Amino acid sequence: MELMYEHLRCGGIINLDETPVQVLKEPGRENTTKSYMWVACRSGTKPVVLFHYAPSRAGRIAAEIVGDFKGVLQTDGYAGYNALGGSEGIVHAGCLVHVRRKFMDVLKAGSKKKKGTTSTMIDLIAKLYRLESRARKDGFSPEEILNMRTEKARPLLNKIYEIILKSAGSIPPTSLLGKALSYALGQWPRITVYLENPALTPDNNIAENAYVLSLWAVKIGYSVVLREEPMPARPSTASSKPPKPIILILLTTSTNSSKNFLMHNAVPIWKNSCHGIS
Protein backbone atom coordinates (compact mmCIF):
# COMPACT_ATOMS: atom_id res chain seq x y z
CA MET A 1 0.00 0.00 0.00
CA GLU A 2 2.78 2.42 0.87
CA LEU A 3 4.09 2.12 -2.69
CA MET A 4 0.78 3.50 -3.93
CA TYR A 5 1.13 6.53 -1.68
CA GLU A 6 4.72 7.01 -2.81
CA HIS A 7 3.57 6.87 -6.42
CA LEU A 8 0.91 9.47 -5.68
CA ARG A 9 3.48 11.77 -4.09
CA CYS A 10 6.06 11.57 -6.86
CA GLY A 11 3.75 13.31 -9.33
CA GLY A 12 3.60 17.06 -9.68
CA ILE A 13 -0.09 17.48 -8.79
CA ILE A 14 -2.35 15.96 -6.14
CA ASN A 15 -6.12 16.52 -6.16
CA LEU A 16 -7.59 15.94 -2.72
CA ASP A 17 -11.14 15.80 -1.40
CA GLU A 18 -13.14 14.20 1.39
CA THR A 19 -16.74 13.14 1.95
CA PRO A 20 -18.75 11.78 4.90
CA VAL A 21 -19.27 8.02 5.05
CA GLN A 22 -21.07 5.81 7.55
CA VAL A 23 -18.99 2.89 8.80
CA LEU A 24 -20.56 -0.11 10.55
CA LYS A 25 -19.15 -2.15 13.41
CA GLU A 26 -16.02 -0.06 13.88
CA PRO A 27 -14.42 -0.84 17.27
CA GLY A 28 -15.03 1.87 19.84
CA ARG A 29 -17.41 3.92 17.67
CA GLU A 30 -21.18 4.01 17.21
CA ASN A 31 -22.57 3.06 13.81
CA THR A 32 -24.12 6.52 13.54
CA THR A 33 -20.80 8.30 14.07
CA LYS A 34 -19.69 10.26 11.02
CA SER A 35 -16.48 9.10 9.34
CA TYR A 36 -14.77 10.30 6.18
CA MET A 37 -13.50 8.84 2.96
CA TRP A 38 -10.65 10.90 1.55
CA VAL A 39 -9.72 10.60 -2.10
CA ALA A 40 -6.34 11.60 -3.49
CA CYS A 41 -5.67 11.64 -7.22
CA ARG A 42 -2.62 11.84 -9.39
CA SER A 43 -3.49 12.43 -13.04
CA GLY A 44 -1.33 12.42 -16.16
CA THR A 45 0.17 9.43 -17.95
CA LYS A 46 0.50 7.33 -14.77
CA PRO A 47 -2.62 8.19 -12.78
CA VAL A 48 -3.64 6.80 -9.43
CA VAL A 49 -6.71 7.24 -7.26
CA LEU A 50 -6.36 6.44 -3.56
CA PHE A 51 -9.28 6.11 -1.17
CA HIS A 52 -8.19 6.73 2.41
CA TYR A 53 -10.59 6.06 5.26
CA ALA A 54 -10.32 8.16 8.43
CA PRO A 55 -12.64 8.75 11.40
CA SER A 56 -11.94 12.48 11.16
CA ARG A 57 -12.02 15.40 8.75
CA ALA A 58 -9.08 17.08 10.48
CA GLY A 59 -6.36 18.68 8.41
CA ARG A 60 -3.80 16.27 9.86
CA ILE A 61 -5.39 13.50 7.79
CA ALA A 62 -4.69 15.43 4.61
CA ALA A 63 -1.11 15.91 5.79
CA GLU A 64 -0.75 12.16 6.37
CA ILE A 65 -1.96 11.41 2.85
CA VAL A 66 0.22 13.99 1.15
CA GLY A 67 3.30 13.16 3.22
CA ASP A 68 6.51 14.63 1.80
CA PHE A 69 4.90 15.65 -1.49
CA LYS A 70 6.18 18.79 -3.18
CA GLY A 71 4.13 20.31 -5.97
CA VAL A 72 0.60 21.57 -6.58
CA LEU A 73 -2.17 20.56 -4.18
CA GLN A 74 -5.62 21.24 -5.61
CA THR A 75 -8.61 21.23 -3.26
CA ASP A 76 -11.90 22.93 -2.53
CA GLY A 77 -12.15 25.71 0.03
CA TYR A 78 -12.41 23.55 3.16
CA ALA A 79 -10.35 25.25 5.87
CA GLY A 80 -8.74 21.96 6.87
CA TYR A 81 -6.49 22.25 3.82
CA ASN A 82 -5.19 25.71 4.67
CA ALA A 83 -2.20 24.72 6.78
CA LEU A 84 -1.13 22.04 4.33
CA GLY A 85 -1.57 24.38 1.38
CA GLY A 86 0.75 26.88 3.03
CA SER A 87 3.52 24.34 3.62
CA GLU A 88 6.95 24.81 2.09
CA GLY A 89 7.18 23.31 -1.37
CA ILE A 90 3.42 23.18 -1.91
CA VAL A 91 1.44 25.47 -4.19
CA HIS A 92 -2.24 25.48 -3.24
CA ALA A 93 -4.68 25.58 -6.18
CA GLY A 94 -8.41 26.12 -5.73
CA CYS A 95 -11.63 24.98 -7.34
CA LEU A 96 -13.61 27.27 -9.63
CA VAL A 97 -16.57 24.89 -9.63
CA HIS A 98 -17.10 25.52 -5.92
CA VAL A 99 -17.11 29.26 -6.58
CA ARG A 100 -19.69 28.75 -9.30
CA ARG A 101 -21.88 26.63 -7.02
CA LYS A 102 -22.14 29.46 -4.51
CA PHE A 103 -23.48 31.78 -7.21
CA MET A 104 -25.79 29.08 -8.53
CA ASP A 105 -27.31 28.87 -5.04
CA VAL A 106 -28.05 32.59 -5.26
CA LEU A 107 -29.60 32.20 -8.69
CA LYS A 108 -31.80 29.33 -7.54
CA ALA A 109 -33.02 31.46 -4.62
CA GLY A 110 -34.67 33.67 -7.21
CA SER A 111 -33.80 37.16 -5.99
CA LYS A 112 -34.33 39.55 -8.91
CA LYS A 113 -32.28 42.23 -7.18
CA LYS A 114 -29.24 39.97 -7.09
CA LYS A 115 -29.80 38.23 -10.42
CA GLY A 116 -27.73 40.68 -12.47
CA THR A 117 -24.45 40.22 -10.62
CA THR A 118 -25.00 36.51 -10.17
CA SER A 119 -25.85 35.84 -13.82
CA THR A 120 -22.85 37.85 -14.95
CA MET A 121 -20.53 35.81 -12.73
CA ILE A 122 -21.95 32.51 -13.96
CA ASP A 123 -21.71 33.61 -17.60
CA LEU A 124 -18.07 34.66 -17.20
CA ILE A 125 -17.18 31.35 -15.56
CA ALA A 126 -18.93 29.52 -18.40
CA LYS A 127 -16.73 31.39 -20.88
CA LEU A 128 -13.65 30.22 -18.99
CA TYR A 129 -14.78 26.62 -19.29
CA ARG A 130 -15.54 26.98 -22.98
CA LEU A 131 -11.95 28.11 -23.48
CA GLU A 132 -10.65 25.07 -21.61
CA SER A 133 -12.95 22.71 -23.49
CA ARG A 134 -11.89 24.06 -26.84
CA ALA A 135 -8.21 23.80 -25.95
CA ARG A 136 -8.53 20.15 -24.91
CA LYS A 137 -10.71 19.28 -27.88
CA ASP A 138 -8.30 20.87 -30.35
CA GLY A 139 -5.31 19.21 -28.73
CA PHE A 140 -3.49 22.36 -27.65
CA SER A 141 0.12 21.88 -26.62
CA PRO A 142 1.10 22.94 -23.08
CA GLU A 143 2.55 26.14 -24.51
CA GLU A 144 -0.63 26.86 -26.46
CA ILE A 145 -2.72 26.30 -23.34
CA LEU A 146 -0.62 28.79 -21.39
CA ASN A 147 -0.87 31.34 -24.21
CA MET A 148 -4.64 30.90 -24.40
CA ARG A 149 -4.98 31.39 -20.67
CA THR A 150 -2.79 34.48 -20.69
CA GLU A 151 -4.53 36.11 -23.63
CA LYS A 152 -8.14 35.06 -23.00
CA ALA A 153 -8.71 33.45 -19.61
CA ARG A 154 -6.82 35.92 -17.44
CA PRO A 155 -8.81 38.96 -18.70
CA LEU A 156 -12.04 37.10 -17.88
CA LEU A 157 -10.78 36.27 -14.40
CA ASN A 158 -9.73 39.89 -13.90
CA LYS A 159 -13.24 40.97 -14.81
CA ILE A 160 -14.73 38.50 -12.32
CA TYR A 161 -12.39 39.79 -9.63
CA GLU A 162 -13.39 43.39 -10.33
CA ILE A 163 -17.06 42.48 -9.93
CA ILE A 164 -16.32 40.71 -6.65
CA LEU A 165 -14.48 43.72 -5.23
CA LYS A 166 -17.12 46.17 -6.44
CA SER A 167 -20.06 44.15 -5.13
CA ALA A 168 -18.64 42.86 -1.85
CA GLY A 169 -18.87 46.24 -0.11
CA SER A 170 -22.51 46.83 -1.00
CA ILE A 171 -24.00 43.37 -0.37
CA PRO A 172 -24.93 42.18 3.15
CA PRO A 173 -22.29 39.57 4.07
CA THR A 174 -24.89 37.24 5.60
CA SER A 175 -26.96 37.06 2.39
CA LEU A 176 -26.45 34.23 -0.11
CA LEU A 177 -24.79 36.60 -2.55
CA GLY A 178 -22.66 38.08 0.21
CA LYS A 179 -21.48 34.61 1.19
CA ALA A 180 -20.76 33.72 -2.43
CA LEU A 181 -18.71 36.88 -2.91
CA SER A 182 -16.84 36.33 0.35
CA TYR A 183 -16.03 32.74 -0.59
CA ALA A 184 -14.79 33.74 -4.04
CA LEU A 185 -12.67 36.54 -2.60
CA GLY A 186 -11.10 34.26 -0.01
CA GLN A 187 -10.29 31.61 -2.61
CA TRP A 188 -9.08 33.98 -5.30
CA PRO A 189 -5.29 33.51 -4.96
CA ARG A 190 -5.83 29.75 -5.34
CA ILE A 191 -8.36 30.05 -8.16
CA THR A 192 -5.83 31.72 -10.46
CA VAL A 193 -3.05 29.17 -9.90
CA TYR A 194 -4.20 27.03 -12.84
CA LEU A 195 -3.35 29.83 -15.27
CA GLU A 196 0.37 29.11 -14.85
CA ASN A 197 0.26 25.32 -15.13
CA PRO A 198 -1.04 23.65 -18.31
CA ALA A 199 -1.46 20.34 -16.49
CA LEU A 200 -3.99 21.89 -14.09
CA THR A 201 -7.69 22.37 -14.70
CA PRO A 202 -9.69 25.21 -13.11
CA ASP A 203 -11.35 22.84 -10.64
CA ASN A 204 -11.01 19.82 -8.38
CA ASN A 205 -13.51 17.70 -10.29
CA ILE A 206 -11.05 14.85 -10.82
CA ALA A 207 -11.17 14.11 -7.09
CA GLU A 208 -14.89 14.69 -6.69
CA ASN A 209 -15.71 12.46 -9.65
CA ALA A 210 -13.63 9.65 -8.18
CA TYR A 211 -16.39 9.13 -5.63
CA VAL A 212 -18.80 7.89 -8.28
CA LEU A 213 -17.87 4.25 -7.72
CA SER A 214 -18.31 4.30 -3.96
CA LEU A 215 -21.48 6.39 -4.07
CA TRP A 216 -22.97 4.06 -6.67
CA ALA A 217 -22.25 1.08 -4.44
CA VAL A 218 -23.89 2.76 -1.46
CA LYS A 219 -26.98 3.61 -3.53
CA ILE A 220 -27.58 -0.04 -4.43
CA GLY A 221 -27.57 -0.99 -0.78
CA TYR A 222 -24.05 -1.96 0.18
CA SER A 223 -22.67 -0.90 3.52
CA VAL A 224 -19.16 0.17 4.42
CA VAL A 225 -17.49 -1.71 7.23
CA LEU A 226 -13.87 -2.36 8.14
CA ARG A 227 -12.15 -5.69 7.63
CA GLU A 228 -8.57 -6.64 8.35
CA GLU A 229 -7.69 -8.76 5.36
CA PRO A 230 -4.54 -9.38 3.32
CA MET A 231 -4.21 -7.78 -0.07
CA PRO A 232 -5.23 -10.00 -3.00
CA ALA A 233 -2.50 -11.53 -5.11
CA ARG A 234 -1.36 -9.62 -8.17
CA PRO A 235 -3.23 -10.62 -11.33
CA SER A 236 -1.38 -12.82 -13.78
CA THR A 237 0.82 -10.89 -16.19
CA ALA A 238 -0.57 -13.12 -18.93
CA SER A 239 -3.85 -11.25 -18.79
CA SER A 240 -4.71 -9.56 -22.07
CA LYS A 241 -5.76 -6.39 -20.26
CA PRO A 242 -3.49 -4.57 -17.78
CA PRO A 243 -4.99 -3.74 -14.39
CA LYS A 244 -6.61 -0.36 -14.10
CA PRO A 245 -4.27 2.11 -12.38
CA ILE A 246 -6.49 2.70 -9.39
CA ILE A 247 -7.29 1.31 -6.02
CA LEU A 248 -10.84 0.04 -6.07
CA ILE A 249 -12.92 -0.13 -2.93
CA LEU A 250 -14.99 -3.24 -2.40
CA LEU A 251 -18.06 -2.39 -0.37
CA THR A 252 -19.46 -5.48 1.26
CA THR A 253 -22.44 -6.48 3.39
CA SER A 254 -20.36 -9.15 5.13
CA THR A 255 -20.39 -9.03 8.93
CA ASN A 256 -18.02 -11.94 9.59
CA SER A 257 -15.54 -9.65 11.30
CA SER A 258 -15.56 -6.45 13.28
CA LYS A 259 -13.48 -4.95 10.48
CA ASN A 260 -14.97 -5.25 7.07
CA PHE A 261 -13.42 -2.65 4.75
CA LEU A 262 -11.43 -4.28 1.94
CA MET A 263 -9.05 -2.39 -0.33
CA HIS A 264 -9.05 -4.36 -3.57
CA ASN A 265 -6.73 -4.39 -6.57
CA ALA A 266 -4.24 -2.32 -4.61
CA VAL A 267 -0.92 -3.93 -5.49
CA PRO A 268 -0.43 -3.49 -9.26
CA ILE A 269 0.61 -0.06 -10.47
CA TRP A 270 2.40 0.16 -13.78
CA LYS A 271 5.53 -1.04 -15.45
CA ASN A 272 8.09 1.74 -15.60
CA SER A 273 6.35 3.75 -12.90
CA CYS A 274 8.44 6.13 -10.82
CA HIS A 275 9.15 3.25 -8.44
CA GLY A 276 10.02 0.72 -11.13
CA ILE A 277 7.13 -1.57 -10.26
CA SER A 278 6.22 -4.01 -13.00
Q: What is the pLDDT of residues 35-91, one digit of tens each?
A: 898 999 998 888 888 888 888 899 999 999 999 999 999 999 999 999 998 899 999
Residue 38 and residue 125 share a domain: no
Domain count, the chain: 2
Residue 168 and residue 106 share a domain: yes
Query: Of the given ranges (10-14, 153-157, 215-219), which has the lowest mean pLDDT?
Result: 215-219
**In a domain? residue 179:** yes
Q: What is the pLDDT of residues 8-45, one digit of tens each?
A: 999 999 999 998 887 777 788 887 888 898 999 998 88
- Predicted confidence (pLDDT) at residue 147 exceeds the cutoff of 80: yes
Residue 30 and residue 50 share a domain: yes
Residue 129 and residue 75 share a domain: no
Residue 49 and residue 37 share a domain: yes
Give the pLDDT of residue 219. 52
Residue 128 and residue 109 share a domain: yes
**In a domain? residue 271:** no
**In a domain? residue 104:** yes
- Structural domain that includes position 40: 2-93+206-264
Residue 23 and residue 101 share a domain: no
**In a domain? residue 79:** yes
DSSP state letters, the chain: -HHHHHHHHTSSEEEEEEEEEEEES-TTS-TTSEEEEEEEEE-SSS-EEEEEEES---HHHHHHHHTT--EEEE--S-GGGHHHHTSTTEEEE--HHHHHHHHHHHHHHT-HHHHHHHHHHHHHHHHHHHHHHHHHHTT--HHHHHHHIIIIIHHHHHHHHHHHHHHHTTS-TTSHHHHHHHHHHHHHHHHGGGGG-TT--SS-HHHHHTTHHHHHHHHTT--EE----PPPPPPPTT-SSPPPSS-EEE-----SSS---EEES-S---TT-TT---
- Domain final position from 200, 229, 256: 200
- Predicted confidence (pLDDT) at residue 222 exceeds the cutoff of 80: no
Q: What is the pLDDT of residues 115-130, one digit of tens each?
A: 788 999 999 999 999 9
Residue 196 and residue 113 share a domain: yes
Give the pLDDT of residue 140. 98
Residue 210 and residue 76 share a domain: yes
Residue 80 and residue 21 share a domain: yes
Residue 78 and residue 29 share a domain: yes
Give the pLDDT of residue 232. 41
Residue 155 and residue 137 share a domain: yes
Q: What is the pLDDT of residues 129-145, one digit of tens each?
A: 999 999 999 999 999 99
Give the pLDDT of residue 203. 97
pTM, entire model: 0.78
**In a domain? residue 218:** yes
